[in-house]
Amino acid sequence: MYPNQRLRLETSTERLTTRVIDLIMPIGKGQRALIVSPPKAGKTTILQDIANAITRNNPECHLMVVLVDERPEEVTDMQRSVKGEVIASTFDRPPSDHTSVAELAIERAKRLVEQGKDVVVLLDSITRLGRAYNNASPASGRILSGGVDSTALYPPKRFLGAARNIEEGGSLTIIATAMVETGSTGDTVIFEEFKGTGNAELKLDRKIAERRVFPAVDVNPSGTRKDELLLSPDEFAIVHKLRRVLSGLDSHQAIDLLMSQLRKTKNNYEFLVQVSKTTPGSMDSD
């Protein structure tokens, strides 16, 4: 079943990251979302903002943050800033530790869903998890480019595939980060394998991040499949109009325009009312 119950992330006027995500990539219970990010584009901060928004707006959801092959200071920062379960394996641990931590976390999440709970798992990152399985698994002899063993990619796919919306039951939402433009052929192969497995995607752009614009979201390729199930008909029509306006701009102009208009309004509702009153093309002249 496609997600049909919305997880609203908007919390406050000045927290623009979650306001942008709500407009560009709405998330529902049972979503399988990928945050596609080059290094230093702010993916960890986005995950923290999403985690804090979920604990604040959706206290009925059980939140789990899974950090694989991560820097110890990032783990401490996440534990201190997020009110949820943080399950981590730092980069100084062997690959088998990374894989077992991820497996324990997803099995625990599945058991909670079987009890009828709504669970949200944030994974940073699916690329590092793929790398860990590749290093930990015995060689099958079928090696893809970049030294990636073809059998090593099934377990992380199984992790992502666990996300689902269950009729008459709980839901398991997985939001995972995927790394691109790292300079590693193996990472590219791993990402290509996961591309298209998610039903929502948020693409971050390094060039936007280098201009110190955060969230560094590349608006036009980002979005949610079947987002009409999550939005009301009126909201869907206005967001559709907004996307049409933004699609005529390049990635830098699109996020600049969106951010400048969001700063002028108190919340997304007020912003969407404003968009519905303007004609396409006149938004940037405000």
Residue set of the binding site for ATP: 28-33, 40-45, 71
Question: Distance between CA 160 and CA 276 in Å, rounded?
Answer: 36
Tokens of 196: 């298209």
- Listed in sequence order, the DSSP H helices in 168-284 are 185-194, 206-210, 233-247, 251-263, 268-277
Burial 68-98 (b: 16+ CB within 10 A, else e): bbbeeebbeebeeebebbbbbbbeebebebb
Binding residue numbers = 28-33, 40-45, 71
Distance CA(286)–CA(280), nearest Å, equals: 12
Helix (H, G, I), strand (E, B) or coil at 217: strand
Rounded to the nearest 10 degrees, how much is the dihedral formed by the CA atoms of 220, 240, 201, 263? 70
Taking a C-beta distance cutoff of 8 angstroms, is the pair 204, 37 a contact?
yes
